[in-house]
Amino acid sequence: MSKIQFGTGIRTQTNIAANARYIEDLGFDVLSAGEHVSFHGPIGNTYITLSVAAGATERIQLMSAIVLLPLYPAALAAKLGAALDNASNGRYQFGIGVGGENPKEFEACGIPVKERGARATEALQVIRKLWTEETVTFDGKFNTLNGVGINPRPIQQPGPPIWVAGRKKAAMRRAALHGDGWLPYMYTPDMLRDSLATITTLRAENNLSMDNYNQGVFIFTCVHPDRDKAREMAAVQLGKTYAQDFDNLVNKYTLIGTPEDCRKRLREYIDAGSSLFMLTSACPESYLDENIRLIAEKVIPAFR
């Protein structure tokens, strides 16, 4: 079995450096940051957040979870990723998704929301070329490059690992054909198992090996000695984050409860094929530090 790794996200928009050091000192393997241009609550930009974290940490891997790739020109995303990989001395992992939960941010950026999947797929092709080739010529539907190169290219070669996030078949196909890993969210263990079978088949059909292919899952998490309190906090927080009722969804899609509850649930995901867990807090700001402390001290050690 692959080494089991654990990550968590920076949710704060201030004191990022101190928060990053705290998470590294707790022993997490990966630190993530997400982004939106406009959303239901405060959220930053993954490149900026992780750049601050890069300067404040030494060992922890830094993952965009996720870059809203359709909102960026592909060459710009390639440049930002390469710059962050250099700034972090080769610690960057490139997680991407297509978004769409808030169509207004696509409208604000001049990107038709219905094109987001096709734009992301083409962008990944361009980014891989820019990360590995000195100069790139590319004539696509959304990107035209004539002898363009970026310097410096990423320290990691052939580039930082590309994790593709999502939930549906189109995302699985993008992950299988253009990614180095699959990072679904709002997934049960059975859903994860089925999706990995689909990706394995797609890669085999396209003569792509599953050797060294990364398999993970992004899970909103709330750990508390009182199981009911953990459930309540997660339902309220996710309801605020996504502006919808999560009362009937938390038990199915989140990692919540006592440390023992969470350890048991994680084993189900491991049996389904996951070797990376991005455990992002689903709790109020006042409980953030305690939540990740409990994860680090009462949950993770069982899998080391």
Give the range of the structural domain holding residue 225, as residue numbers without chain letter.
5-303
At 251-292, the pLDDT tens digits run 999 999 999 999 999 999 999 999 999 999 999 999 999 999
At 242-260, the pLDDT tens digits run 888 999 899 999 999 999 9
What are the CB-based long-range contacts (under 8 Å, 24+) for 124-128?
124/69, 124/96, 124/162, 124/174, 124/178, 124/179, 125/178, 126/74, 126/75, 126/78, 127/74, 127/77, 127/78, 127/81, 127/94, 127/159, 127/162, 128/158, 128/159, 128/162, 128/178
At 7-45, the pLDDT tens digits run 999 988 999 999 999 999 999 999 999 999 999 888 999
Domain count, the chain: 1
256, two tokens: 């919540």
Q: Domain with 17 in it: what CATH number?
A: 3.20.20.30
| Separation between Cα atoms, residue 29 and residue 279, nearest integer Å | 11
Entry pTM:
0.96
